[in-house]
Structure 1
Amino acid sequence: MHGKVSSGRRSPIRLFHLSDIHFGLEDRRALDWAEACIARERPDAVAITGDLTMRARHGEFRAACEWITGLDVPVTVEIGNHDMPYFNLFERFFAPFRRFRAIKRMVDAEIDLERLAIVPLQTATRAQWQRFPWSNGWVTDRALADCLAAIDAHPKDTRILVAAHHPLTERRERDGKLLTINGTKAMEALAGRQVMAVLSGHIHDPFDLTADTAAGPLRMIGAGTLSRRIRSTPPSFNEIVIDGDVLRVEARNLDQVPTPEMQIPDVPENAMPPRGTGEPVSPVGAVPPVDPPVH
Structure 2
Amino acid sequence: MADHLTLFHISDIHFGLEDNLALDWVKAEIAARQPDAVAITGDLTMRARHREFAAAATWIRSLDAPVTVEPGNHDLPNYHLPSRYLNPLGRFEAFRDLVEKRLEFPGLALVPLNTNVSAQPRLNWSKGWVSRRALDNCLSQIDALPAGTRVIVTAHHPLREAGTHGTALTRNGNHALDQLAQRNVLAVLSGHVHDAFDLMQDTPSGPVRMIGAGTLSHRIRSTPPGFNELTWDGSKLTVHVRNLEGISSHDMMVDEVPEDAMPPREAGEPVAPIGRIPRTDPPVD
Q: What TM-score, normalized to structure 2?
A: 0.91
How many residue pairs get aligned? The number is: 269
SS of the residue aligned with 2:192?
Answer: coil
Residue in 2 that maps onto 1:6: none
Residue in 1 that maps onto 2:158: 167
Q: Are 2:126 and 1:135 equivalent residues in the alignment?
A: yes
Q: Are 2:205 and 1:215 equivalent residues in the alignment?
A: yes
Match of 1:283 among 239, 262, 272: 272
Contact 2:195 2:223 in 1 (8 A): yes
The structural deviation recorded for 1:274 is 6.9
The structural deviation recorded for 1:231 is 1.1
Match of 2:56 among 64, 68, 91: 64
The structural deviation recorded for 1:177 is 4.0
Aligned CA distance change for structure 1 residues 88 and 176 (closer, same or farther; 3 Å): closer
Q: Are 2:83 and 1:91 equivalent residues in the alignment?
A: yes
Aligned partners of 1:212 and 1:29: how far apart in 2? 38
Contact 2:2 2:105 in 1 (8 A): no
Residue in 2 that maps onto 1:49: 41
Contiguous gaps of at least 5 residues in structure 1 = 1-8, 276-281, 286-295
SS of the residue aligned with 2:174?
Answer: helix
Match of 1:153 among 120, 144, 166: 144
The structural deviation recorded for 1:55 is 0.6
Q: What TM-score, normalized to structure 1?
A: 0.88
Contact 1:232 1:284 in 2 (8 A): no
How much is the aligned-residue C-alpha RMSD, in angstroms? Answer: 1.8
AA of the residue aligned to 1:74:
P
- Runs of 4 or more consecutive aligned structure 1 residues displaced over 3 Å after TM superposition: 272-275
The structural deviation recorded for 1:87 is 1.4
Residue in 2 that maps onto 1:251: 241
AA of the residue aligned to 1:57:
R
How far does the alpha carbon of each residue in 1:240-295 deviate from its partner, in whole angstroms, 9 at most, with x for none? 000112000000000000000000000011226379xxxxxx7368xxxxxxxxxx
Identity fraction in percent:
57
Aligned partners of 2:262 and 2:250: how far apart in 1? 23
AA of the residue aligned to 1:227:
S
Contiguous gaps of at least 5 residues in structure 2 = 266-270, 275-285
The structural deviation recorded for 1:86 is 2.1
The structural deviation recorded for 1:172 is 3.9
Residue in 2 that maps onto 1:278: none
Aligned partners of 1:141 and 1:102: how far apart in 2? 28
Question: For residues 13-32 of structure 1, what are the structure 2 equivalents within 5 Å?
Answer: 13-32=5-24
How far does the alpha carbon of each residue in 1:13-44 deviate from its partner, in whole angstroms, 9 at most, with x for none? 00000000000000000000000000111100
Residue in 1 that maps onto 2:278: none
Residue in 2 that maps onto 1:291: none
AA of the residue aligned to 2:22:
A
SS of the residue aligned with 2:207?
Answer: strand
Residue in 2 that maps onto 1:40: 32
Aligned CA distance change for structure 1 residues 101 and 206 (closer, same or farther; 3 Å): same
Aligned partners of 1:106 and 1:210: how far apart in 2? 29
The structural deviation recorded for 1:10 is 3.9
Aligned partners of 2:108 and 2:62: how far apart in 1? 24
Residue in 1 that maps onto 2:283: none
Contact 1:233 1:284 in 2 (8 A): no
The structural deviation recorded for 1:171 is 1.5
Residue in 1 that maps onto 2:259: 269
